[in-house]
Amino acid sequence: MSYKILFLDIDGTILKPDHTYTEKTKEAIKQVQAKGIEVFFATGRPLHELEDLAKELGIESGIGYNGGFAKYKGEVIVNDAFRPALVSEIRDLAKQLGNELIFYTIGTNYLSKTEDPKMKFFVNLFTMKQNEQLPDDFTKDVYGISAIKVLPEHVSYYEKFEELYMSPVNVAGLENAYDLIQKKINKGTAVKKVLDALNISADEAIAFGDGMNDLDMLQFVGHSFAMANGNPKIFEYAKYKTTSVQEDGIYNGLKKLGLLD
């Protein structure tokens, strides 16, 4: 079987809960790159927050914002922001429910309440650096949204937006946090656009993920792996199940495909 491209989620897939990665994870990425396989991040995070990790792992391309934006070695392939009117409606709802929001743009993370303790915890957990207070009436050029302090009874209010689905943030220690994902713009749609741009078939693509925001991506590619530490609901959408992020899940999955020495 010929493999040409590899998509890797970050939190819970590349990175362990302590934000480090295993040496075998780094070695696996290095080996597949040496075989000419393109490696992409595929994350809910904004790409501007990944520069240090990208340098450490030698990864030059990525899908960020849960599919809202993607670039291949500096060339923009996907550029799909939220509708400003939808962003405005989300802001109004969050204020009504007492939730806090993070809006991800190209280069900056805008926080609805920078001094909120839960917001500080979120920012520190994901080592977010490019943060500013959310301006009044800001609705344009938003590529991703996270919501925190979302109680279980709040979820149904967001689900009334037909364009969205709520994906729980699958990170230990962070409860009541969700990514707000556009149904028509997600990791899966971004993967398809990347494959089309690079003239690669889905059967030549591999993906690893652990959360419900990886669902569309894992379904689309020909060879998908769910991490053992992932949301149990994700397992049915992946072709294979690999070991946990702490147990070198990426390495073991790629070895299963015969790609590692």
169 band by pLDDT with thresholds 50, 70 and 90? confident
- Collect all residues with Cβ–Cβ distance below 8 Å to 50 and sequence separation of at least 6: 10, 41, 43, 62, 64
Q: Residue 70: how many CA atoms within 13 Å on its side-chain side? A: 28
CA dist., res. 32 & res. 39, Å (int): 8
CB distance 25 to 248 below 8 Å: yes
pLDDT reported for residue 173: 76
CA dist., res. 224 & res. 217, Å (int): 8
Tell me how crowded residue 242 is: count the other CB atoms within 10 A of its CB: 25
Q: What percent of the chain has pLDDT over 90?
A: 91
Q: Give the rounded distance of the alpha carbon of 192 from its chain centre.
A: 15
Pairing of strands 205-209, 5-8: parallel
pLDDT reported for residue 242: 98
Instruction: Return the structure tokens found at 240.
Output: 């294979």
pLDDT reported for residue 174: 81
Mean pLDDT of 239-253: 98
CA dist., res. 245 & res. 178, Å (int): 21
B/e letters for 46-58, b = 16+ CB within 10 Å, e = fewer, are: bbbbbeebeeebe
171 band by pLDDT with thresholds 50, 70 and 90? confident
170 band by pLDDT with thresholds 50, 70 and 90? confident
Q: Which domains occur in the chain, in start order? A: 5-80+185-256 (3.40.50.1000), 84-182 (3.30.1240.10)
11 band by pLDDT with thresholds 50, 70 and 90? very high
Q: Residue 177: how many CA atoms within 13 Å on its side-chain side? A: 21
User: pLDDT tens digits for 17-45?
Assistant: 888 999 999 999 999 999 999 999 999 99
User: pLDDT tens digits for 50-72?
Assistant: 999 999 999 999 999 999 999 99
Q: Give the rounded distance of the alpha carbon of 68 from its chain centre.
A: 10
Q: What percent of the chain has pLDDT over 70?
A: 100
Q: Is the pLDDT of residue 225 over 80?
A: yes
Report the alpha-carbon angle 3-171-129, nearest 5.
90
